[in-house]
Structure formats: C-alpha cells, structure tokens
Amino acid sequence: MAGKYKPRAETLLRRSSDPGYRVAWKLKYGFQKGYLEGEMTYGEAKRKAEEMMAKDPEKVYWPELIMDPAFEEAS
C-alpha cells in the first residue's frame, strides 16, 4: 500500500511561528530515545530544547516535526 505522510508544518522552511513541533531527545552514550508530549511552535520547541540541554547534559534535545502516522492513499 503506497501513500504519503502528512506533515503538520512546512518541512524545509522553519519559522518560529510554525506549529506542529515537539521536543525529541536521546541519550548521548546510550540507546534510549523519546520525545516530550505536546505540540508547540518551532520557536517554543527550540527554546525548550536549549533549556533542557543546559539542565541535563546526558541527553541531546532538538525540535522535531510531528509526522502523522495516518497517511493518505496515493492516487
């Protein structure tokens, strides 16, 4: 079954006001990864990622575009 994912924001241009982002993380020296619940703008996610990286040096944080798992059928 072929289809395409529906991103919640523009994938190439990142403006601070673009909605559809969350903060993702992974351990620097391990195999755990995850993300924080909630949707926010790119600017908010970037700020929160920077704050959390300053507090927790064991993890790397970044703003991640939310991709909806339910995709449309390609026609």
Q: For the whole model, what pTM was predicted? A: 0.76
pLDDT per position as a tens digit, 21-38 = 999 999 999 899 999 999
Give 68's DSSP letter. E
Residue 53 buriedness (CB in 10 A; 0-12 / 13-18 / 19+)? middle
Selection from 32, 48, 52 nearest residue 40 by Cα: 48
Residue ranges per structural domain of the chain: 19-31+39-64
- φ/ψ (deg, to 5) at 44: -65, -45
pLDDT of residue 38: 92
Q: Tell me the pLDDT of the chain averaged across its residues.
A: 85
Better-predicted residue by pLDDT, 75 or 59? 59
pLDDT of residue 4: 67
